[in-house]
Structure 1
Amino acid sequence: MTAGETKPAESARSIAWARRRQAAGRVWREFATDRGGLIGLIVLAIIVLLAVLAPVLTNEADLNVTTTELPPRDPPSADAWLGTDRNGVSVLLLIWWGARVSLLIGFSAALLSVFIGTAVGILAAHFGGWPSTILMRLTDFFLVLPTLVLAIALAAVLPRGLGTIVLAIGVASWPTTARLVRAQTLTIEARPYIERSRALGAGHAHLIGKHVLPAVLPLVFANTTLVVANSIIAESTLSFLGVGDPSRPSWGGILQAAFSSGAATQGAWWYLLPPGIGIVIVVLCFTLCGRALETVLNPRLRGQG
């Protein structure tokens, strides 16, 4: 390849990246005009930052029930701002470290769910025929199954741990994404530039990788924020029902321990409210961000706004 052939290729690549940066900047400016989405993003950033810095700002050894010196089920005080649990461990510390587990499972399960759903949706819409029929019947099968029941069954059969919870939630929650991506892919496949690419001899990998996937990704990204919120709720539900990972604190696990120890009947509100409020705030923030992204990335919704 000569220098003259290399320069046009590099120039086209630089132009493509420049357009992507401009598009990203435009999306951010429009997203910033949505007050609810911006507030949700700021609160999420703070929560994620605190969760990441938990090993730096706190001592994990204080979660050990055998070394704690605080009285059990003690109301909020200067020593424990949110009181203590049934074992004398600070509830604030449990919430702090539980955020790491809940967010980790939420993000991981959402990525697994979105990956499976995106792959199934694109392949079903692109190839059509019998591959589409098989993939969509498989999607319908998982869609009619109760997501929570399927996740509980998988979590109960497989060895208990974070990986099992991620797998159970991800496998049980991908059909909605698959149907959404399939509908968007069918719209993209009908566009003229796809027909021109096919006429010029473009293969399946080129069409999917260069045209379909980049056009679908904005919708997938917006949907991911909503899937993360659903995954956090699913993880909290599984932990509350006793099929989570008992070796790590999570918000659902804290709620389960509080109810099983009679915190509700004994008036230990500081043991019940913080994990529930944490779940509500995080899910609400992800929902606000997802709705704001949908408004920005969907021209019809943006027009209505």
Structure 2
Amino acid sequence: MGTNDLGNDILSEIVYGTRVSLFIAFIVSAISMLVGTSLGLIAGYFDKVGFLIMRVVDVVLTIPRLPLIIVIASFMRPSTWNLIALFLIFGWLMTARIIRSEVLTLRRRYYIDATKMIGGSDFYILWRHILPNVVPLVVVQFIMEAIHVILAESGLCFLGLGDPVARSWGMVFHYAFECPTIYVSDVWMWWMLPPGLCIVFTVLGLTFVGYALEETFNPKLKSSFSGMEL
């Protein structure tokens, strides 16, 4: 791939950018799943607390996610941890809503009523009976959130709002776009195209993994797809 206008090796930047992009996606997804799952369990099991939590979720979800992140990031010092904090503001919302809807269904099962009758505490029921049944949803949501974070982080870095020290795929793409000769020569082929392909293939790969896991955890979904093919 050669070097950029500063003499930096582009392949090394892309390899290093893989670590940065995936690190941000993993950290944001992991913390978002922890917060979203915890609040979803509480909101689905306890009605009064759940009402308050879901009203907050509904209000925040009405705000456009990416435009607000762009506005806030433009007033903050560019850094990796600031980006992570911004993504965490919205990362847990959909997970909390999905987990809550599943908990509302699970808590009406007969074995939950039987556990209550023999003296099982609320914490015991949530930990031993409800949480294991929502883990498949959490895994799928983890992958979907990682996809959103990779795309959002790349978009912010392309706009110049990312950490200039941490050369993620988006920052490599940003510096390539700023090159004055990027479109009048073949520079784009070995500077702009590789990080773009890394983003596309990573997102596609995670999407296929998410769909495969969703079909595995939900046999009804797989059978419906088979019926459509027939």
Spell out the pairing of 1:238-257 with structure 2 (5 A cutoff).
238-257=156-175
Q: Distance in 2 between matches of 1:153 and 1:118?
A: 28
Q: Distance in 1 between matches of 2:67 and 2:39?
A: 22
2:25 pairs with 1:100: no
After superposition, the C-alpha distances for 1:238-260 in whole angstroms (9 at most, x for unaligned) are: 11111111111100011111112
> Which residue of 1 is the match for residue 200 of structure 2?
280
TM-score of the superposition, structure 2-length normalised?
A: 0.91
Give the unaligned 5+ runs of structure 1: 1-81
SS of the counterpart of 1:101?
helix
SS of the counterpart of 1:244?
coil
Spell out the pairing of 1:1-305 with structure 2 (5 A cutoff).
82-129=1-48, 131-267=49-185, 268-269=187-188, 270-304=190-224, 305=226
Give the unaligned 5+ runs of structure 2: none
After superposition, the C-alpha distances for 1:235-291 in whole angstroms (9 at most, x for unaligned) are: 111111111111111000111111122353233121110000000000111000000
Give yes or no for contact 1:147–1:173 (8 Å, CA) kept in 2: no
SS of the counterpart of 1:83?
coil
- Give the percent of matched residue pairs that are identical in Structure 1 and Structure 2: 35
Q: Distance in 2 between matches of 1:192 and 1:149?
A: 45
Give yes or no for contact 1:95–1:251 (8 Å, CA) kept in 2: yes
SS of the counterpart of 1:261?
coil
Instruction: Give the counterpart letter for 1:208 in structure 2.
Output: L
Give the number of equivalent residue pairs: 223
Q: Distance in 1 between matches of 2:72 and 2:95?
A: 20
Q: Distance in 2 between matches of 1:181 and 1:157?
A: 33
SS of the counterpart of 2:184?
coil
Q: What's the Cα RMSD here?
A: 1.5
Q: Which has the larger radius of gyration?
A: 1
1:171 Cα deviation (Å)? 1.6
Identify which of structures 1 and 2 has the higher relative contact order when contacts are C-alpha pairs closer than 8 Å and 6+ apart. 2
Q: Distance in 2 between matches of 1:164 and 1:192?
A: 46
Give yes or no for contact 1:263–1:271 (8 Å, CA) kept in 2: no
Give yes or no for contact 1:226–1:287 (8 Å, CA) kept in 2: yes
TM-score of the superposition, structure 1-length normalised?
A: 0.70
1:134 Cα deviation (Å)? 1.0
1:211/1:151 CA distance change after superposition, 3 Å: same
1:248/1:133 CA distance change after superposition, 3 Å: same
Q: Distance in 2 between matches of 1:289 and 1:204?
A: 34
Instruction: Give the counterpart letter for 1:87 in structure 2.
Output: L
1:155 Cα deviation (Å)? 3.1
Q: Distance in 2 between matches of 1:278 and 1:247?
A: 20
